[in-house]
């Protein structure tokens, strides 16, 4: 159970008890009691079996896959997997791979319906990038926590430089929302549009060790080419 569930749930149960005592009529306590049950259920945080093996990319959250598409980014081509989380889904978010959190960026925005593709760019969101280590070394995955029509708060409990394990809890989005996962173009997708996934346990995509080595090599060459000689040896020829 996420802490917020206890805060909302117990507070509403207290309200229900006060109303029943003050009015002498238990019927007044029905509405807050039902809301308490809803919040306790909504903020549930079930344990998940995390898949093992190199190069696996797991879902950051529960929900419905609404899109899998090849996109162009400043770093080259990538694949984007979009997942819609309704109010009936678990809203705890997890790290898709094991590695180091290299970037975290919060962006204010609107609160469009999370089913609208434009919400991926215009809504409030938190963008996190993890560079793989250990069995996930050689790949980089970015995931966005995107607020929806009802959501008004994104929670992210990690900071840049933190080391994450695959499936580790990293935060949550309150109420209806969306998660976008940006994976390497070379990754083999394991899901398709219309499929339901579970955070931490459903494999979205995978990469073979050879593919990860090739991606890492290209990233290294690109980074080396962008560094001026002066940055290597103080400007000496």
Write the CA distances from 50 to 141, 161, 184, 225, integer angstroms: 17, 23, 21, 38
Judged by average pLDDT, the poorest of 45-49, 61-65, 121-125 is: 121-125
Using CA atoms, how far apart are residues 135 and 138, in angstroms rounded to an integer?
9
How many structural domains comprise the chain?
2
Say yes or no: 38 and 63 in one domain: no
Is 177 part of the annotated catalytic residue set? Answer: yes
pTM over 0.85: no
Query: What is the pLDDT at residue 174?
Result: 79
Does residue 229 belong to any structural domain of this protein? no
Using CA atoms, how far apart are residues 55 and 61, in angstroms rounded to an integer?
18
Which residue among the candidates 119, 177, 202, 206 is catalytic per the annotation? 177
Does position 120 have pLDDT exceeding 50, yes or no?
Answer: yes
Phi, psi of 65 (to 5 degrees): -70, 120
Say yes or no: 72 and 34 in one domain: no
Judged by average pLDDT, the poorest of 74-83, 189-198, 222-231 is: 222-231
Does residue 96 belong to any structural domain of this protein? yes
Query: What is the pLDDT at residue 229?
Result: 36
Summarize the confidence of residues 96-112 as an average pLDDT. 89
Using DSSP's 3-state secondary structure scheme, residue 20 falls into: helix
Summarize the confidence of residues 125-145 as an average pLDDT. 94
Say yes or no: 32 and 75 in one domain: no
Say yes or no: 140 and 80 in one domain: yes
Judged by average pLDDT, the poorest of 27-31, 49-53, 111-115, 158-162 is: 111-115
Does residue 20 belong to any structural domain of this protein? yes
Using CA atoms, how far apart are residues 181 and 143, in angstroms rounded to an integer?
4
Using CA atoms, how far apart are residues 48 and 85, in angstroms rounded to an integer?
17
Query: What is the pLDDT at residue 235?
Result: 40
pLDDT in tens, 172-211: 987 768 899 999 999 999 999 999 999 999 999 999 864 6
Say yes or no: 85 and 126 in one domain: yes
Does residue 235 belong to any structural domain of this protein? no
Summarize the confidence of residues 56-84 as an average pLDDT. 95
Mean pLDDT of the chain: 84
Query: What is the pLDDT at residue 206?
Result: 95
Does position 228 have pLDDT exceeding 90, yes or no?
Answer: no
Residues with Cβ < 8 Å from 176, sequence gap 6 or more?
85, 86, 87, 113, 114, 148, 149, 150, 151
User: What range defines the domain where residue 187 resides?
Assistant: 56-222
Residues with Cβ < 8 Å from 126, sequence gap 6 or more?
104, 105, 106, 107, 144, 145, 154, 156, 171
| C-beta of residue 204 within 8 angstroms of C-beta of residue 96 | yes
Using DSSP's 3-state secondary structure scheme, residue 204 falls into: strand
Using CA atoms, how far apart are residues 116 and 233, in angstroms rounded to an integer?
50
Summarize the confidence of residues 49-56 as an average pLDDT. 94
Say yes or no: 37 and 61 in one domain: no
Phi, psi of 32 (to 5 degrees): -65, -30
Write the CA distances from 235 to 81, 221, 222, 231, integer angstroms: 43, 20, 20, 7
Judged by average pLDDT, the poorest of 20-24, 144-148, 155-159, 181-185 is: 144-148
- Residue 96 pLDDT grade (very low, low, confident, very high; cuts 50, 70, 90): very high
Using CA atoms, how far apart are residues 167 and 98, in angstroms rounded to an integer?
8
């Amino acid at each position: 159970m996420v802490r917020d569930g206890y805060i909302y749930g117990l507070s509403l149960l207290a309200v229900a008890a006060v109303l029943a005592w003050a009015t002498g009529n238990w019927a007044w306590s029905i509405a807050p009691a039902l809301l308490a049950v809803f919040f306790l259920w909504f903020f549930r945080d079930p344990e998940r079996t995390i898949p093992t093996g190199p190069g696996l990319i797991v879902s950051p959250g529960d929900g419905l896959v609404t899109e899998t598409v090849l996109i162009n980014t400043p770093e080259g081509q990538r694949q984007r997997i979009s997942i819609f989380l309704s109010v009936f889904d678990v809203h705890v978010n997890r790290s898709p791979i094991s590695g180091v959190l290299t970037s975290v960026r919060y962006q204010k925005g609107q609160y469009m319906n999370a089913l609208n593709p434009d919400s991926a760019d215009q809504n409030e969101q938190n963008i996190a990038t993890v560079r793989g280590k250990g069995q996930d070394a050689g790949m980089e995955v970015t995931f966005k926590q995107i607020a929806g029509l009802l959501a008004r708060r994104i929670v992210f409990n990690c900071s840049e430089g933190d080391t994450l394990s695959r499936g580790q809890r990293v935060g949550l989005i309150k109420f209806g929302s969306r998660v976008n996962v940006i994976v390497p173009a070379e990754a083999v997708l394991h899901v398709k549009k219309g499929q339901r996934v579970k955070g931490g346990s459903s494999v979205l995509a995978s990469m073979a060790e050879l593919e990860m080595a090739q991606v890492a090599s290209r990233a290294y060459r690109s980074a080396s080419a962008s560094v001026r000689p002066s940055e290597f040896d103080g400007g000496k020829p």
